[in-house]
Amino acid sequence: MREYEWLEQNYNLILLGPPGSGKTLLSVGLGIEAIHKGFQVYFITMGELIQLLKTEEYVNKSKIQLKRLRASDLVIIDDIMYMAMDQREATLFFQLVHQLYEQSSLILTSNRSPEEWTEIVGNQGMMTAILDRLLHRVEVIHMNNESHRLKNQQKIFKD
C-alpha cells in the first residue's frame, strides 16, 4: 500500500488527545511530508478559520486565503471544537466541510471527542451533518500521552 494513498482517496484523520500530547506536532509533520510528495497543504487553527469564514465577504485577504484553502489537497484544522460556535459560525463551518467533502483530505486535532462536539455547536442537526461528512472516511487516532509541556515543566522544577 502506498504511503499517501489515504490522501489521494480523500480520507480524513482525526487526532484526539489532551493538550500537549503531540496532536499538532504530528499533523504538521504529516503536512510537511505531504508537501514533499507534491500535495498542496493548508494549516489553520479553528479560531483563525472561523474568523476567515466570517470575514470572507468583506475582506479580500480572507477571500484569498479561503480560496487557497479550498484548493488544497490536505487541510489541517488545529484545535477543532475548542470553543463554542454560534449558529452563523456553525453554518459557515458546515458549508466549508461540505465544499471540501470528497475533494480534499482533512486532518483535525481536538482535545474533545466527536460525541462532545454537538454540545459546542448547540445545534444537533447541524453537527450531525458535519460529522456525517467528516466521519465518512476517517481514521481516528487517540493520543493519550502525557503532556510534553508538563513533563518539561516538571523537570525544570525538580532540578
- In the chain, where are the structural domains located? 5-158
CA distance 146 to 20: 7
Global pTM value: 0.86
Mean of pLDDT over the chain: 87
Q: How far is CA 141 from CA 15, 19, 24, 67, 97, in A?
A: 5, 15, 13, 29, 20
| pLDDT band at residue 14 using 50, 70 and 90 as cut-offs | very high
Is 146's pLDDT higher than 70?
no
Of residues 26 and 153, the one with the higher pLDDT is 26
Of residues 15 and 152, the one with the higher pLDDT is 15
Comparing CA positions, the residue from 130, 108, 96 lying closest to residue 11 is: 108
CA distance 136 to 126: 16
pLDDT of residue 154: 54
Average pLDDT of the residues in 138-144: 89
Q: CB 67: neighbour CB atoms within 10 A?
A: 10
Average pLDDT of the residues in 91-120: 89
Of residues 147 and 9, the one with the higher pLDDT is 9
CATH class of 5-158: alpha beta
Radius of gyration of the chain from its Cα atoms, rounded to whole angstroms = 16
| pLDDT band at residue 1 using 50, 70 and 90 as cut-offs | very low
pLDDT of residue 129: 85
Is 77's pLDDT higher than 80?
yes
Express each pLDDT in 58-76 by its tens digit: 999 999 999 999 999 999 9
